[in-house]
Amino acid sequence: MTVPDRLKTPRAFLFADPAAHSLSPRMHGAAFAHAGLRGTYEARRVSAAELPAAVAGLRAPDVLGANLSLPHKEAALPLLDSLSDAARAIGAVNTVIHETGQLRGENTDAPGLLAALRDAGLAELPPGAPVVILGAGGAARAAAFVALRDLRRPAWIVNRTLERAQALADEFQAFGEVWAASAGATPWDAAPLVINASSAGLNDPGQTPLDAALLARLPAGALVYDMVYKPAETRLMREARALGLSADNGLGMLAHQARLAFRAWTGADVPAHVFLDALRPPEPA
Ligand SMILES: NC(=O)c1ccc[n+]([C@@H]2O[C@H](COP(=O)([O-])OP(=O)(O)OC[C@H]3O[C@@H](n4cnc5c(N)ncnc54)[C@H](OP(=O)(O)O)[C@@H]3O)[C@@H](O)[C@H]2O)c1
């Protein structure tokens, strides 16, 4: 899809609650400028009760679509006209695409994660070896989809609440070999890739989803990908690096999911570095 000429100032949104601290306006503002489009991207605080009306408003002719974040990624599904295969399988929509009155739900978190893992050195990991996913919420569902469907690797789901990990593993059986396990029963020494899709460390930098003693059981050369990106080096990343492992934060995933949403809305293939550069804090004057 390309932006029609009649759309002099196309609009896109983020619906989330809270929304004030989102980095998405910076990224999409930079992308509009790079693409030479006079578009706007506005982060709106939308409560659960307000979501149906906000989504209905996306059918306006000058609207390209919206990103959805907590707590709307699952709740929006029945409000849309169609869903991509990934959005349906993951059960979450982070990008709504408006095309002539029709709203399509897409999940760019999953391909965004895949692109970020490639940037972080995925190609150097032994093929076919298992992935351990920490967490069992929406982000973990996207990670399980990537592990099973895109990477065709077996997956172990490890979550604070084991029942939720088990429910996710049961649901994703159709996509490949997937198990739920307690941290103690997980085959860490066989897993060259660990993805933190839990919120541990998000609001408390002292927190980690994985004890250093378990990290130490990962094979040499393993990659630890933390979807959390504040602070830029999380405790999980710091402890993994101290053991000589590779580690990366979730900024790459954030940038790539935005790049893919922007491309779906406008047809413009803005390079990932534009989104990543927009995430860097401004240089002190
Ligand atoms: N980088 C990106 O672009 C990107 C994209 C999407 C999400 N994320 C990040 O991914 C994380 C998860 O997001 P989500 O949407 O999946 O959230 P969610 O649906 O609320 O799930 C949160 C998960 O984290 C677990 N958890 C929470 N606090 C924990 C703690 N202290 N120790 C261990 N586990 C804990 C929960 O376990 P229980 O089941 O036991 O409650 C649950 O499995 C967030 O940090 C989010 O910011 C990043």
263-272 pLDDT tens trace: 999 999 999 9
Give pLDDT, residue 17. 97
pLDDT digits (tens, 9 = 90+) for 30-57: 999 999 999 999 999 999 999 999 999 9
The count of other CB atoms within 10 Å of the CB of residue 213 is 9
Confidence of residue 107 (pLDDT cuts 50, 70, 90): very high
* Spatial separation of the C-alpha atoms in residues 93 and 79, rounded to whole Å: 11
* Spatial separation of the C-alpha atoms in residues 246 and 14, rounded to whole Å: 32
DSSP category for residue 281 = P
Active site residues: 73
DSSP-assigned beta bridge partners for residue 82: 104
pLDDT digits (tens, 9 = 90+) for 227-257: 999 999 999 999 999 999 999 999 999 999 9
In the chain, alpha helices (H) = 24-35, 51-56, 85-90, 109-119, 138-145, 162-172, 212-215, 235-242, 251-266, 272-279
Q: Where are the domains of the chain?
A: 11-107+257-279, 111-249
* Nearest atom (ligand 1) to Cα of 161: 40
**pLDDT at residue 8 tops 90:** no
Q: Are both 11-107+257-279 and 111-249 of the same fold?
A: yes
Output the ligand 1 site: residues, CB below 6 A: 109, 135-140, 159-161, 164, 197-200, 202, 207, 209, 227-229, 250, 253-254, 257
Fold of 11-107+257-279: Rossmann fold (3.40.50)
- Label the pairing between strands 193-196 and 223-226: parallel
* Nearest atom (ligand 1) to Cα of 199: 45
Please tell us whether the domain made up of 111-249 is placed in CATH 3.40.50.720.
yes
Of 7, 27, 115, give the one whose Cα is nearest residue 67. Answer: 27
